[in-house]
Chains A and B, each alone.
Chain A
C-alpha cells in the first residue's frame, strides 16, 4: 500500500455543523500533514504531526482541530466553519526519507 487515503472526497456542511476529515496511510510514515488549497492557489500548510505529536501549527484558527490517534491515522475536526473555509483539504505523509505523498483531498464546501 503506497497511498494516502482521504475520506470523504466531498463534504458540504453548514456553519453550525461539526464534521471530521480523515486521512489514513499504511506505509509506516511517521510524519503527517494537513494542507489547505483554495481554488487556483498553491497548497498552504496547516499542521504537522511527527511521531503522533503536533510539531507545527501554522496559526490555524481553533475551529480547525487536528488529531493523530495513531501512527496511521490523522483527523481534522471542523466546527463552526465559515464560507471562506471552503477549499480542498489535502493530507500528506513522509517517511524518514524525503518524498512527501499526498492524498487526493477532501473538497469542503461550507454553506
Chain B
C-alpha cells in the first residue's frame, strides 16, 4: 500500500513562515492535496496541485512538488495564531484519498 509520511510537529513564531513537508510513495498519483483540521472539526481543503506542476501559489500558501523525490511541501507565509491546527497532505489514487500522518502546527506569539 501507499505510505504518506509527515513530520509530527512544527512550532513557529507568529509572523514567521511555516514549511510543512510530506513524502509519498505512489508515483502514479495525479493530484496531491493539503487539508487543515482544527480541534474537533472536519477537514478544510486548503489547496491542491496537479502532478505535472511543480509549484502553486494561493495567497499566503505556496505548494512545492518535487516529483522525482516524491516530496511535497506547504509554505504558509506570515503565520498567524489562527493557523494552529493539524495539516494533512493527501495523494489521490484513482478515487481514493490517502492521507499522510498529519503535522501539528503550533504558532506562538
Q: Tell me whether chain B's interface is mostly helix, strand or loop, or mixed.
A: strand
| In the complex, per-residue mask of A88-111: 1 if CB is within 8 Å of any chain B CB, else 0 | 001010100011111111010000
With both beta carbons as reference points, the residue of chain A lying nearest to B40 in the complex is identified as: A107
Report B29-50 residues with CB < 8 Å from chain A CB.
31, 33, 35, 40-45, 48, 50
Chain B residues closer than 8 Å to A102, beta-carbon distance: 35, 42-45
A48 and B97 in contact, given A42-B102, A99-B45, A101-B45 (Cβ under 8 angstroms): no
Taking a contact as CB atoms under 8 Å apart, the answer to whether B42 and A42 are in contact is: no
Number of B residues, CB within 8 Å of A: 21
Task: Please tell me if A70 contacts chain B, counting CB pairs below 8 Å.
Answer: no
Chain B residues closer than 8 Å to A90, beta-carbon distance: 42-43
In the complex, how many residue pairs between chain A and chain B have their CB atoms under 8 Å apart? 49
Task: Please tell me if B92 contacts chain A, counting CB pairs below 8 Å.
Answer: yes
Task: Please tell me if B24 contacts chain A, counting CB pairs below 8 Å.
Answer: no
Q: Measured between alpha carbons, how far is A101 from B97 in the docked complex, in Å?
A: 12
Q: Measured between alpha carbons, how far is A3 from B95 in the docked complex, in Å?
A: 20
Q: A68 to chain B: closest CB distance in Å?
A: 15
